[in-house]
Chains A and B, each alone.
Chain A
Amino acid sequence: MTLLHRRLTKSDLNTLVNDAPAEPVRLSDAHRTSLSTRFRAVSVPGHRRLDAWSVERAGRGGNAFRWSPGTARRVLGNASLRRMTTQPTSVRDAVRDELGDQMLRAVSGYSRSGSLSNWLASAPHPVIGLVTAEAVNWATQLQEISQWLEVPWEVPGSDAYYDVATARTTLRARRDLVVHHNGTRTVVRVRSGSPGTSAGPGLRADLTIAALADHDGVAPVRYIGLWPEAGICLSVDGTMSDLRSGARDLVRTAVAQRRRGTLLAA
């Protein structure tokens, strides 16, 4: 395995980006078919969603999702930074514009129930202020990280998603910055708190999903996880061994989820 642990500094981050493997690994149709077969063998009644977080928690469910300033900050913060790459403005103004667009979507009827737009449109004024503060924090942090990078980067429009064929399973990989270097791509993912012992498997799961989500199956040469609150970064390389390990962890998580579901039903 290729897990690297570094301090989150400008030089360490650039070293991680610049020293990434030169040749990306490619997943074939046979790999996709094999994964699909394994997921089909772990059937569930409904639709299953897996991500790095579920791998890190070994399939244990958390609290039900609800929108809050904390859960909205990443969506709004990333969108604000993406906005800033096309029109120079302050972080605060970019966040306000993004909030305005989200609320406009709800008012004009283009958002579904339970969406961020709907929640924002019904939130009281002080909560909107707090959402702004959280999104400004996130966007400022991501902007500082991006300013450290010495190679071109972009804020992706969304996370990477992959629907496993005929297995009623959707995989999601978080990605906050995509760095292009020598014709390859390195993905940067930012998380709150500090990394736990299962942070490596989580990163590998994201790496595998990012490779699967790529149309040609090309894996990122390196997946870098940043924990700014702890000042730590971890990375895994896009090697076949790491990709296999990531896929195994995802299947194991599906098994653990089903086992828990069965126990609860019993």
Chain B
Amino acid sequence: MLDPSPLSVVEALRGDRTKRPLIDIASAGGLRSLLEDGIFAILGASRLETPIVVRASSLRQGCATPDLAASTPGRIRGVLIGQLLRLLSVGMSIDHAFDDAVAAWRGDVDTNVLIQHLDALDDDDRARLATDLEAHCVTLTRALGELPARWMPRSSVRATQRLAGGSVVLRDVVDLMIGTSTSEVASIALFDVTTSPLGEGAERSMRYHALMQTLRTSVMPLRTCTFSSATGEIWIRDVDYELLARSVEDVLASIRDQWSAT
């Protein structure tokens, strides 16, 4: 599973078109039932006033290794690299990674805690973050290569699923998605970028993206991958029922943890 970065991540994700499996539209229903049954076993018939929310970040936590991206500077760096990926996905050239990413971020959202934290950085910290981001951007740009428009890249794709009558809400954002759900063969590939080194949590996260995409569109994606802009490592997995069923277990474990903590 651990591969050296190929020349183009997207080429690796797309793979050989002739070897792609037929589109799977049958598994989503079974996965949804697995989730509903599992949640019923945990929560019973009670309806929660405040829903339990599961995100990819919920699954990353609880690992032996601390997630460097979970700190405030790490989160800012993660948001900024996400903005750069969005610009790259539409073929924009990045001249000044930090300035471009911050300008895009400010244009996208109203002021929030992270932006306030960014504004409060002194010149040294700001320069350090800018240099750091520049390095991440170079790694990402080199690995990503050019994204042809015919592969229909779209960025920051959101998904929401309400389960158990709204007592559990699954939320997800996939950094980059390519391919289409209208083709006869599986073609959707999911690309997630993290600014920390890859670990066990990243594997759970990539499974979760595949599960959420399957539940959202009822079409199983072809591949899911996670890329570290810190190390240039990439993990790519073909999506099959087993991988999605493991993600269901991850989600149920997270719900169990949150439920027992209340």
A93 to B149 alpha-carbon distance, docked (Å): 8
Q: Report how far A60 CA is from B181 CA in the complex, Å.
A: 38
A83 to chain B, nearest CB (A): 14
Interface presence of B204 (CB below 8 A)? no
B139 lies within 8 A of chain A by Cβ: no
B216 with A229: CB separation less than 8 A: yes
Structural contact, A130 and B87, CB atoms closer than 8 A: yes
A126 and B103 within 8 A (CB): yes
List residues 179-231 of chain B with CB under 8 A from any CB of chain A: 180-182, 215-218
Q: Which of B2-10, B52-60, B152-160 lies at the interface with chain A?
A: B152-160
Q: Name the residue of chain A whose CB is nearest to the CB of B109.
A: A68
Contact A124 B180 (CB under 8 A): no
The CA-CA distance from A192 to B181 in the complex, in Å, is 19
Interface residues in B111-164 (C-beta closer than 8 Å to A):
149-150, 152-162
- Structural contact, B87 and A231, CB atoms closer than 8 A: no
State whether B216 touches A130 (Cβ < 8 A): no
Task: Write the nearest CB–CB distance from A148 to chain B, whole angstroms.
Answer: 7
| A136 CA / B215 CA spacing, docked (Å) | 22
Which B residues lie within 8 Å of A228 (CB)? 216
* B25 sits at the interface (CB 8 A): yes
Interface residues of B in 15-39 (CB under 8 A from A): 25
In Å, the complex CA distance between A58 and B152 comes to 38
Interface size on A, residues (CB 8 A): 35
Q: Which residues of B contact A140 (CB under 8 A)?
A: 152, 154
**Distance between Cα atoms of A69 and B87 in the complex (Å):** 12
Q: Which stretch in B88-96, B238-246, B252-260 binds the other chain?
A: B88-96
**At the interface, yes or no: A47 with Cβ under 8 Å from chain B?**
no
Contacting B89 at CB < 8 Å: which of A68, A123, A133?
A133
Across the interface, B160 reaches (CB within 8 A) one of A7, A130, A132, A229, namely A229
B49 sits at the interface (CB 8 A): no
- In the bound complex, do residue B150 and residue A129 qualify as a contact, i.e. CB atoms below 8 Å apart? no
Question: Is B156 a contact of A127 with CB atoms below 8 Å?
Answer: no
| B79 on interface, CB distance cutoff 8 Å | no
Contact in complex: B150, A136 (CB < 8 Å): no
> What residues of B have a CB within 8 angstroms of the CB of A125 in the complex?
92, 100, 103
How far, in angstroms, from A133 to B82 measured CA to CA in the complex? 12
Interface centre among B91, B101, B108 (most CB of A within 10 A): B108
Q: A158 interface residue, CB < 8 Å from B?
A: no
With known contacts A92-B91, A144-B180, A194–B107 Cβ distance under 8 A: no
Shortest Cβ distance from A191 into chain B, in angstroms? 12
Partner of A126, one of B107, B149, B152, B216: B107
Set of chain B residues within 8 Å of A127, measured between Cβ atoms:
103-104, 107-108
The reply to whether B157 and A70 contact each other, CB–CB distance below 8 Å, is: no
Cβ contact within 8 Å between A126 and B90:
no
Q: How far is the CA of A194 from the CA of B157 in the complex (A)?
A: 14
Sample of 23 A–B contacts (CB below 8 Å): A9-B25, A9-B218, A10-B182, A68-B107, A90-B149, A91-B149, A126-B99, A126-B107, A127-B103, A129-B86, A130-B104, A133-B90, A133-B155, A136-B153, A136-B154, A140-B152, A193-B160, A229-B158, A229-B160, A230-B159, A230-B160, A230-B161, A231-B216
Residues of B at the A interface (CB closer than 8 Å) are 25, 83, 86-87, 89-92, 99-101, 103-104, 107-108, 149-150, 152-162, 180-182, 215-218
Please give 15 more A-B residue pairs, beta carbons under 8 A apart, in addition to A93-B149, A148-B182. Answer: A9-B25, A68-B108, A69-B108, A90-B149, A123-B107, A127-B107, A132-B90, A132-B92, A133-B86, A140-B154, A144-B182, A228-B216, A229-B158, A229-B216, A231-B161
